[in-house]
Structure 1
């Protein structure tokens, strides 16, 4: 015997209320999304002053605005870098020491030099990539110069940055192969933000090469540094910490009077690249 289907009549007022409720629920994810996006955006105390001409921009327009902002700077000589690094990279637990960037070792400020077990001035953007040497400008820019053990610095040489390789003696957590270097986890983001600062600061309009990141290794003397996809990953993996933020502030207040924008606004890495 066939089953009879019964029809239930629902008042129009209830249907309208149900439709309104469904519409509100359907819109709920859209209202949550901007909140999440806002949470990932860093607010800097310099947004209303130093960065005012960059706020609200993105992509090439943001890069151009930041270049105009940060190229206004004081410069130090290569000899002056020694004393500056003793200040910018001071060990917060021991004011007589500096922290080496790749090894993470705390070493006496007095042991600066060129002998084994000394620390020297590491160009994170290798100075041969663009052939700027130690010229006042990119060759002395404190935003990418860091103390490092002489031997470890030699192992890094002018290699691009990438993941993988064999463990580096004297720099726990760092790895290297024939054409790349991977720093320890604690400074992966620092390295990425230093490289990207250089790419924005040196844009070919001040007598030096136009420095740019790319997604290659073995860039040699070309004004490129890789690997961009890995650097972006590192910047997300290792956000700015207190040491990196203090360093940025000291350079701004006492030496160059310009800032690394990717420390203040790490989300700008993805916005530009």
Structure 2
């Protein structure tokens, strides 16, 4: 009997430490909750595990961009224009509510994050007074005189919450490096005709402008918006400085906040995407 049962302690140990152990490979995180696995951004920043911080891709982007596959230069730009046009258009008042979702502070669902200052401010503080936040047109609406009627003036792919005073200081300036630091928004610089945003959103700004230059080509009653390598473009339908924007696109890569924002706009609001968040490399393919 002793000879037959000598292996029982080994079997028991195997059950306890072998079969009972997780089947995941060594080093895998213990917490496999969906929110936990998706709450870490590509830049390594951890966000609270809330539904609003989860990144899910609702679109099959390969299928969405099928027409653009293998193209470059003007052919790629034209293909992307066809893909992202025909989007749902919001009223200017609807933009308030949209921004409260797309730019929600992942650490505080009652607040939004302001573009140039990174400040978290109460959603209820939207307005036009000092201490409020308002709707910043990253592509200044005077560059093409498209105003705030439905169309480019309400396209939330380029509209972001910003402090009222900082928004006013940026005005309709083009984007470039250099100038004096703006005291109410440390890390942002300005001179007579250009604005340099803080490093953390340089790429965001560039990719929003790339989107606008592709979406609005003058074939649907809206201005033909184009990027050039100048500043001081005034009321012409141009924004610069293109060479700097292309550098910013590489300097500040796409992060989880941009991806989440792109998904929300696609899924809940305009039903089109910013191609340069999904494929930032396409900027160099178009503007060589």
Structure 1: how far apart are the matches of 2:259 and 2:248? 17
Structure 1 runs not aligned, ≥5 long? 1-43
2:282 aligned partner: 268
Which of the two has higher C-alpha Rg? 1
1:213 aligned partner: 227
2:248 matched to 1:234?
Answer: yes
Note the alpha carbon deviations across 1:73-125, whole angstroms, 9 max, x for none.
11110000000000000011111100000111000000000000100000000
Which aligned pairs between 1:184-203 and structure 2 lie closer than 5 A?
A: 184-203=198-217
1:75 aligned partner: 89
2:110 aligned partner: 96
Note the alpha carbon deviations across 1:50-91, whole angstroms, 9 max, x for none.
111111111110000000000021111000000000000001
CA contact (8 A) 1:152 1:169 kept: no
Structure 2: how far apart are the matches of 1:232 and 1:108? 33
Deviation at 1:193, TM superposition (A): 0.3
The number of residue pairs the alignment matches comes to 230
Matched residue of 1:49: which SS? helix
Structure 1: how far apart are the matches of 2:78 and 2:131? 41
CA contact (8 A) 1:47 1:55 kept: no
2:269 matched to 1:255?
Answer: yes
1:149 aligned partner: 163
2:168 matched to 1:119?
Answer: no
Q: Which runs of 4+ in 1 moved over 2 A?
A: 44-48
Structure 2 runs not aligned, ≥5 long? 1-56
Structure 1: how far apart are the matches of 2:241 and 2:60? 30
1:84 aligned partner: 98
Deviation at 1:48, TM superposition (A): 2.8
Structure 2: how far apart are the matches of 1:47 and 1:151? 38
